[in-house]
Amino acid sequence: MLIARRKLFALLTGVVLGAAGLSAPAAAHPVNPLRPVVFVHGSAGSAMQFRTQAKRLAGNGYPARIIEAHEYDSPNIATILPQVYAGLDARIDRLLAETGADRVDLLAHSLGTFVMQGYLNSSPARAAKVAHYVNLDGRPAAAQPGGVPTLAIWGEGDPARTVAGATNVSFPDQSHTQTVSSVETFREFYRFFTGRSPRTTALIPDRHPQVSGRAVLFPSNAGVEGATVEVYPLDPRNGHRLTRRPVAVRPVAADGAFAPIPVDPRARYEFALVRAGQAVHHFYFEPFRRTDTFLRLLTSRPGEGIGALVQTSDKHTALTFQRQKEWWGAEGDSLVVNGTNILNGATAPRAKRVIGVFAFDAGLDRTSQLAEPLPEFFAITFMTGIDHYIPARGTTSIVVRSRGGGITYLPIPAWKSSDHRVSLEIDDY
């Protein structure tokens, strides 16, 4: 009898709603399903700028497989723009086919906003495949590109910059690259994409994280040919290898990609990029707390690129530091190598927007000159160079103190720069 009454009530409800020109409520479904996310970097950039944000997205329910970066040869963008657009077309179509999503969400930074504004304005069909666009500290615009709903985030600089018709948000205390990686930016674009605030902005550790990415030539983002990635766990006391043999070996594909590698979220690792007849390039990172698909091993061919400016010898170590949050040498950031802070208002001024630091014994005289930066490095966008003698013996002690709090200890072996290249990626949070 109770079941019959319920059926009668449902029937009468349908009749009443129909007579009123209404319909019965549809089954519950997400108003804003999680769409694929694509990040487009700026000048001399790569997926590295979005590493932290990708992990924050994953910590809020986004599958890592639907978060991607579209990389390109930024110094040659004027001549390759049609190919970049075609690559974006293929990437977006593939993501939509794989996920069944109606559209994708896009973010672009700096030069990437030039690329994306042109892309979205180039074709209504292209714009129709994009649900939201985030313009990160890049080009102003007189209208939302392609009519796509736009969030424009601005860092320090001209406060008059806007994208007309967009939601414009300013963070005047953040530098150019920091506007990509900051917690504040994450909150804004997450709400813009989903209509709700994130559950968390912390990088909550995975139980069984994996790391994958690409080995690429800087700044073209072309894949490194004929290379192998070897992975070694490190002794936390001195950064030296705990095993003689690598715990993982991955061949590098033609596009630079290497397959996922399982890691312990509490441990530190060395990623050694090995190429026949070339110096081994050692990469050091802080612990991988979450699965990371945006790892980039940035290198160059012998005698090419910025690396060719580094003087080498059997007597000293040469180091390259990178952080996707600018180094402000006189405003709370310090980079202490063997007890000496190599950053100051001259070597890393706030206005220079330094994210890459080269430190080595310039002149091979076994002395350090920290008062001024090395001019050939300082002339390169986002880079600085520092004459600091780091003996090639034992362990090199590295301590990073970041503005806003946080201290990182990263001891590593003191490799001879004549046979070894060394890069360290410092977390941006």
- Report the pLDDT value the prediction gives residue 110, as an integer from 0 to 100: 98
12 has a pLDDT exceeding 80: no
Confidence at 405, pLDDT banded by 50, 70, 90: confident
**186-213 mean pLDDT:** 96
5 has a pLDDT exceeding 60: no
- Report the pLDDT value the prediction gives residue 404, as an integer from 0 to 100: 85
Q: What is the pLDDT of residues 343-363, one digit of tens each?
A: 999 999 999 999 999 999 999
**220-224 mean pLDDT:** 97
Q: What is the pLDDT of residues 250-286, one digit of tens each?
A: 999 999 999 999 999 999 999 999 999 999 999 999 9
CB 49 within 8 A of CB 109: yes
Confidence at 33, pLDDT banded by 50, 70, 90: confident
- Report the pLDDT value the prediction gives residue 22, as an integer from 0 to 100: 36
**14-41 mean pLDDT:** 55
- Report the pLDDT value the prediction gives residue 342, as an integer from 0 to 100: 98
**10-19 mean pLDDT:** 35
DSSP states of 203-237? -PPPSS-EEEEEEEETTTTEEPSSEEEEEEEB-TT
- Report the pLDDT value the prediction gives residue 17, as an integer from 0 to 100: 32
Report the distance separating Cα 66 and Cα 34, nearest Å: 9
What domains are there in the chain, each with its CATH number?
A: 37-194 (3.40.50.1820), 205-304 (2.60.40.2190), 309-429 (2.60.40.2200)
- Report the pLDDT value the prediction gives residue 303, as an integer from 0 to 100: 87
**385-391 mean pLDDT:** 98
**159-177 mean pLDDT:** 97
Residues 6+ apart with CB under 8 A from 352: 378, 382, 384
Quote the strand ranges of 61-201, DSSP E: 67-70, 104-109, 130-136, 150-154, 167-170
Quote the strand ranges of 72-193, DSSP E: 104-109, 130-136, 150-154, 167-170
- Report the pLDDT value the prediction gives residue 1, as an integer from 0 to 100: 39
**408-415 mean pLDDT:** 97
- Averaged confidence pLDDT in the chain: 92
Q: How many CA atoms lie within 13 A of 252 on its CB side?
A: 24
**372-386 mean pLDDT:** 97
- Report the pLDDT value the prediction gives residue 19, as an integer from 0 to 100: 32
- Report the pLDDT value the prediction gives residue 258, as an integer from 0 to 100: 98
Q: What is the pLDDT of residues 131-153, one digit of tens each?
A: 999 999 999 999 999 999 999 99
* Ramachandran class of 152: left when φ > 0, alpha when ψ lies in -120 to 50, beta otherwise: beta
Report the distance separating Cα 398 and Cα 411, nearest Å: 5
18 has a pLDDT exceeding 60: no
Whole-model pTM?
0.90
Report the distance separating Cα 360 and Cα 169, nearest Å: 40
Which residue's structure tokens are 């070597």?
347
